[in-house]
Amino acid sequence: MDYNEAKEFLNRLLDRERAVRPSYPDSLDEYREFLRRMGNPHNGLKSILVAGTKGKGSTAFFLYEILRKLGFKTGLYTSPHLVEVRERVRFNGRCISGRDFGRIVGKIAPHVESVGFRSVFETLTTLAFFYFRERETDYSVFEVGLGGRLDATNVVSPCVSVLTDISYDHTHVLGKRLRDITREKLGITRKNIPLVSQAQSPMVRRYVREFFHGDVFFVGKDEKVEIESISMDGVKFIYRGEEFFIPIPGAYQAMNAATAIEVVIRMGLDFDYKNVKSALKKAFWPGRFHIISKNPLIVLDGAHNLKSTKVLVDNWERVTGESPVILFTAMKRKPLKRMLLELKRIADEFVFTTLPLKRALGIDLLKKKGEEAGLKSKGFGSVNEAWAYVKSLNRPILVTGSLYLIGEVLKEEGLSPCRNIQRIDR
């Protein structure tokens, strides 16, 4: 199977997934049996699991970059992708090649067909297991897809578990109470395995201690993260008495980077902070306060729930002070009106669009919610039209609401994290 054939197979699988509309699994037993039939490719991987509501992708990426700089052969598995599906699987600074992607999907496909159904996410997770095993990774970093306890990534045996900030999202699956959400995410923990968590709210910290009785370290509480400066170029911060810089603006990204640093400490690795600083100085994670132009200012940020939207707005005010036109769309089951009211703090003009996804909100509903929030807005039925319009205004642009929208805009600009990451990294 080549790369295009593999993508076609995944698209067919996705169509079947939409038609079947499988419920969230109540155990990982079936997936474990699926892996057993293929020789348990996940066994033996020295793994780190990263779960949370926001910041888990960035934290996983920072950790991956640090481990690489320390000389370890390191794999990274994240989701969703922005432009190309192979972005999800990386090894030692590169996305998996199209050839390897197609070859491994070709190995997995007959097993998927033989059992009748496995999700796209499970299939891609299995691909990552095979690829990392082939590459003989020293460490494999897995961003949890949804929740934790029943996520496909949770079949591995982590040497460290990581929790980023926990708040409300995917409540139709994880539960409507923070207690329930926290318990689901703590499913990635193991007895006698350290847990590194971001500071969390006092309520979430209480739940963490209620459900997890092992060694837990709260970054930002047990050890402070001090912000020295934030600019368009990035953030300078102090952690454990050392000064670091990351090329992504935002105090929240300093917390994510500090969490990655603490994970390395908890792993008991012998390292020089000089190497950690060097890794973080070059670590750029696209789609997160991602500046693709400075004149006019164009920022792409995948904030897609209420808390991440609030953080984005605070960061925008702190870094720019300008009033942008906002290109926005969102998926269903989001607190849409509240997100729009937050964004209204920094913008006086909104442009709504939609995506060719079943979960995407339509233009009419977006405009209706915009009117309820008192917004001045326009709507376009395609990202192509909407992007052409906002660019014609020749004013600051903020694109947000969905990582899928960020991916479409990157395509419009001819950018891809796998093919021209240097252009993305300004």
Alpha helical stretches, state H, 289-401: 306-319, 336-343, 363-372, 383-392
Contact yes or no for 294/232 (Cβ under 8 A): yes
Confidence (pLDDT) at 316: 95
Instruction: List pLDDT tens digits, range 27-78.
Output: 999 999 999 999 999 999 999 999 999 999 999 999 999 999 999 999 999 9
**H/E element, 128:** helix 120-135
User: Are the beta carbons of 380 and 363 closer than 8 angstroms?
Assistant: yes
pLDDT band at 422 (very low <50, low <70, confident <90, very high): very low
Residues of the chain with CATH 3.40.1190.10: 3-281
User: Domain 290-424 - what CATH class?
Assistant: alpha beta
Instruction: For CATH 3.90.190.20, list the domain ranges present in the chain.
Output: 290-424
pLDDT at 15 over 90: no
The residue with greater pLDDT, 168 or 240, is 240
User: What whole-number distance in Å separates Cα of residue 342 and Cα of residue 182?
Assistant: 25
- Residue 25: the pLDDT is 73
Residue 191: strand, helix, or coil: coil
Nearest to 96 by CA among 62, 56, 137: 137
Give 115-155 pLDDT, tens digit per residue: 877 899 999 999 999 999 999 999 999 999 988 999 999 99
Provide the pLDDT for residue 425: 38
| Of 5-14, 117-126, 413-422, minimum mean pLDDT range | 413-422
Tens of pLDDT along 322-332? 999 999 999 99
Q: What is the pLDDT of residue 204?
A: 95
Residue 24: pLDDT over 80: no
Q: Is the pLDDT of residue 305 over 50?
A: yes
Mean pLDDT of the chain: 93
Segment 160-170 shows an average pLDDT of 89
Q: Show the tokens assigned to 401.
A: 């609401």
pLDDT of residue 22 exceeding 70: no
Q: Which CB contacts under 8 angstroms, 24+ apart, belong to 19-23?
A: 20/117, 22/117, 22/119
- Please calculate the CA angle 340-78-333 and round it to the nearest 5 degrees: 30
Helices (H) and strands (E) in the chain, counts: 16, 17
Locus of tokens 């320390």: 70
The span from the CA of 259 to the CA of 335, in Å, is 28
CB 354 within 8 A of CB 392: no
- The stretch 237-266 carries a mean pLDDT of 97
Cα(316)–Cα(347) distance, rounded to whole angstroms? Answer: 11
Work out the percent of the chain whose per-residue pLDDT is above 70: 96
User: In sequence order, what are the residues at sequence separation of 6 or more whose Cβ sits closer than 8 angstroms to the Cβ of residue 251?
Assistant: 227, 230, 235, 237, 315
| Predicted pLDDT of residue 116 | 75
- List of E strands, 126-283: 139-143, 158-163, 195-198, 216-219, 225-231, 234-239, 242-246
Do residues 352 and 424 make contact, with C-beta atoms less than 8 angstroms apart? no
Rounded Cα distance, 76 and 283, in Å = 14
Report the pLDDT value the prediction gives residue 224, as an integer from 0 to 100: 98
Q: What percent of the chain has pLDDT over 90?
A: 86
- 353 falls in which pLDDT band (50, 70, 90)? very high
- Predicted confidence at residue 14, as pLDDT, reads 87
- In this prediction, residue 336 has a pLDDT band, given cuts at 50, 70 and 90, of very high
The radius of gyration computed from the CA coordinates of the chain, to the nearest angstrom, equals: 21
Q: Order the strands of the 349-352 sheet from edge to edge.
A: 290-294, 297-300, 397-400, 325-328, 349-352, 377-379
Residue 74: CB partners within 8 Å, gap ≥ 6? Answer: 64, 67, 68, 91, 92, 137, 138, 139, 140, 141
> What single-letter DSSP state applies at residue 326?
E
Pure H helices in 175-305 = 178-185, 202-211, 251-266, 273-281
Burial group, residue 128, by CB count within 10 angstroms (0-12, 13-18, 19+): buried
Neighbours of 232 (CB within 10 A): 13
From CA 268, how far away is CA 325, in angstroms rounded?
Answer: 47
What pTM was estimated for this model as a whole?
Answer: 0.93
Angle at 126 (CA atoms; ends 124, 128), nearest 5 degrees? 70
- CATH topology for 3-281 is UDP-N-acetylmuramoyl-L-alanine:D-glutamate ligase (3.40.1190)
Q: Coil, helix or strand for 282?
A: coil
Q: Report the pLDDT value the prediction gives residue 426, as an integer from 0 to 100.
A: 38
CB 280 within 8 A of CB 62: yes
Strand 47-51 vs strand 158-163: parallel, antiparallel, or unpaired? parallel
Residue matched to tokens 């297991």: 129
Which tens digit of pLDDT belongs to each residue from 82-96? 999 999 999 999 999
Mean pLDDT of 199-217: 95
Neighbour order of strands in the sheet with 225-231:
225-231, 234-239, 242-246
Cβ 259 vs Cβ 196: under 8 Å: yes
Angle at 343 between CA 368 and CA 387, to 5 degrees: 75
Among 166-175, 179-188, 340-349, the least confident range: 166-175
Higher pLDDT, 25 or 97: 97
